[in-house]
Chain A
Amino acid sequence: MKHIKIRTRTFLQGGIHPPENKSVTYEHSIENLPLPKKAIIPLSQHLGKPALPVVKKGDTVSEGQLIGKKDGNYSSHVHSSITGKVTDIGPYYTASNVKSNCIVIQLEGEIKRMNADKPDWSNLSREQILQRISEAGVVGMGGAAFPTDVKLNVPSDKKVDFFIVNGAECEPYLTCDYRLMMEKPEEIVEGIQIIKKLLNVKKVFFGVELNKRPALEHIAEHLREKDNIELIALKVKYPQGGEKQLIKAILNKEVPSGGLPFDVGAVVSNVATINAVRDAVLFQKPVIERVVTVTGRIVKNPGNYKIRIGTPLSDVIADTGLTEEPAKIILGGPMMGPSVVSLDTPVTKGTSGILFLSEKEEKRVRYNAYRSCIHCAKCLMVCPVSLNPCMLSLQGEFETYDQMTRYDIMDCIECGCCNYVCPSFRPIVQFIKLGKSFLKKKG
């Protein structure tokens, strides 16, 4: 602790501080959830094209076996999370509330335990490391699900000076990253070493919000002087976990409009992703499970659970229990996570939390009865990218989407701050998404 300098930083423009509600699961250490009877594994758990299935109905697959092959640059491999038999390949509801192709596996047979020896990775070449990350199907686990091998494979003409570890976890309710930092600090530090070697960077920043102070101190104990990792305490502010805001907060640099973080010499990665990278490089372990915060006032046993990818929500509910019928189930945090329509919706690589809201909590948000904009300018004040959400929502309301480019609609990060503060309950982000899809279609 003594040899680590901790500086408090944040980004200045915008941001909100909604009630954190992290105490529900703050002290619950990571536990394993029982294996699901049936895993519904979506072929599209990442940003790019869906993976191509390489198994047929009736095949027997083992845990960790490749079942979906990546298709194109921004795609990623998909692996079976349990041992069993493929019973169906077809469309099922996923987090985005549209049916997309999934592989359904019925649990059958033995489960192998992972090899516990700790191999040495220092002899691996850059290509080999990237190959292993790619083969394990690692994607960004903070929510965006950007394939990690693509992110870490920086083009040779770009120079990367900084690697930023994202431990901000700014979404209310979620504590999965916090628990990871508390329980696996060594693993995370090792993961950082791997990525440091891969990117050939000198300086690493590790940003953690101040409401997770124990994690900050815990990590500090596991750092050595020569690691050259600087811990940064961040003021609690949503959306600090967003790449652009984190870079602004830590480096005080702005990613150019339409650009990527390495345009300012930085690469940002989430702690859960770093943990997955370490498992992939050391043990060649594919992403078949992840830590998910199961939370909400109506959950009987809330906590941070290690859940297999593809576990349907109904299985999660059966294991954690609910005290009353949920009115709304959200995958991820309440600010950006989508609410689902079906209890068969599976947990995917990008699911950081499952939040159950009761009827009473659900009623507080009334987007269906939104009213006229009263120009209070609260949305302008909270917008972390200095947009004018008020004008954008008016343009969206009158369906004059062409006008929206004048207000830099494409720079919106859809964080939902404007929606959160709008006193008229206007669905501003929805208007912006509509405008974006219209403009993209128009080209």
Chain B
Amino acid sequence: MLKTSISPHIHSPQNIEYAMRNVLIAMVPALLASVYFFGVRALWLEIISILTAILAETLMQLLLRKPVTVSDGSAAITGLLVAFNMPPNIPFYVPVVATALGIIVVKQLFGGLGHNIFNPALVGRVFVMFAWLPEMTTWNVPLHPDWIRHFNLFHINLDSITSATPLAVNKLQGMSALVSQFGSKTQLYLQSFLGNTGGCIGETSELAILIGAFYLFSRKVIWPTVPFVYIITVAVLTALMGQDPLFHILSGGLFLGAFFMATDYVTTPMTLSGSLVYAVGLGLLTVILRLKSGLPEGVSFSILLMNGLTPLIDKLIRVRTYGKQSKRGRDHE
């Protein structure tokens, strides 16, 4: 019996599962860094978020009588990203609510993978941020870790002291206070790059995120345009505003946002020029929110705002078709 189908009859092995699996692999360094710096509690946060995401996706798809596609790994990525965006000492119900909201409302109610306008993990994070502001803005750093207790799987309470994130210190007390806290400027850059600062569990270690990101570039899962343009825009704009650009790109959630959330397939523009506009917009919004708003950090909000602009960017910015004189769309609208 001969089968027949449309051409082409061969296919690239890079399907959805391939992309999602590689993103998960790329997040492993950041996960390890989070456990190293914030103890086993970070691991529990991540496990609980992932399980919530998988459960919520399965239940929603069963309820809406859709094929259950939880095995493609996109739900697990959402769960892990939500966990990465949580402060270390957060109560466990917070990531659960954030993940469930992201998966159920933002992803499945909009039609599932590919139909969501906003990044589910970020909406979840912003929702709980406004729901439980005190919990979400209390930052802890481990207190001289006792390594055996630190990595004991059942030692879920963190021995820690409350401390503001470098961005908050910079905002409230200025750069000099920050430098004296770390000893020297070099030390500040180094500790920020390695991840030994206060902040969300997955965002502090720029080194781990970069390792994962270069893995993704080598696998051709994401393209470096958006993250690098985003980071460069932030550096240039902070320098113009009289701030320390290196400090600004190494602290906060910029790297996590740039490499793992601003590169989400579904919610970013498709054309190259569109992504440039998107990335510059991200940098602009981040700098404005960091320096001119009441909040110390603005990566999540700027990515969500630009997510909302993505359909418009895709509609307005087009590429000239082969053999056409002008860009498309003009003569039809």
Contact = CB atoms under 8 A, between A and B. Distances in A.
The short answer to whether A and B are in direct contact, CB under 8 Å, is: yes
Interface of A: 13, 16, 18-19, 97, 172, 244, 248, 254-259, 326-330, 334-343, 355, 357, 362, 364-365, 367-368, 371-378, 380, 384-388, 390, 405-408, 411, 416, 419-421, 423-425, 427, 429-430
Which 7 pairs of residues, A with B, have the shortest CB-CB distance?
A372-B114, A385-B322, A377-B270, A416-B8, A376-B265, A257-B323, A374-B114
A179 to B, nearest CB: 22
A261 to B, nearest CB: 11
A420 B6 contact: no
B303 to A, nearest CB: 15
B323 A254 contact: yes
Given A368-B5, A429-B8, 5 more contacts: A335-B8, A340-B2, A374-B265, A385-B322, A406-B329
22 contacts: A244-B323, A255-B323, A257-B323, A327-B2, A330-B7, A334-B7, A335-B7, A335-B10, A338-B7, A341-B2, A362-B9, A365-B10, A371-B16, A371-B114, A374-B113, A377-B271, A386-B321, A388-B318, A406-B328, A411-B321, A419-B11, A420-B11
Given A255-B323, A335-B7, A421-B12, A372 B2 contact: no
Scoring B14, B69, B112, B323 by chain A CB atoms within 10 A of each residue's CB, the highest score goes to: B323
Contacts of A427: 6
Given A408-B328, A421-B12, A328 B5 contact: yes
A259 B18 CA distance: 40
A384 B321 CA distance: 9
Interface string B301-333: 000000000000000001111111100110011
B7 A373 contact: no
Contacts of B10: 18-19, 172, 334-335, 364-365, 420
Contacts of A380: 270-271, 319
Scoring B5, B8, B268 by chain A CB atoms within 10 A of each residue's CB, the highest score goes to: B8
Given A18-B12, A244-B322, A372-B111, A407 B328 contact: yes
Scoring B10, B115, B269, B270 by chain A CB atoms within 10 A of each residue's CB, the highest score goes to: B10
Given A172-B10, A327-B3, A339-B7, A375 B266 contact: yes
Contacts of B325: 256
Contacts of A364: 10-11, 13
B225 to A, nearest CB: 11
Nearest to A390: B270
Contacts, number: 161
Contacts of B323: 244, 254-259, 385, 411
A429 B321 CA distance: 17
A16 B13 CA distance: 13
A66 to B, nearest CB: 33
B45 interface: no
Interface string B103-121: 0000000011111000000
B297 to A, nearest CB: 27
A184 B292 CA distance: 74
Nearest to B6: A430
A406 B323 CA distance: 15
B115 A372 contact: yes
A425 B10 CA distance: 11
Contact of B321 (A257, A327, A329): A257
Nearest to B315: A391
Contact of A386 (B9, B111, B114, B322): B322
A286 to B, nearest CB: 29
Contacts of A430: 6
A372 B266 CA distance: 11
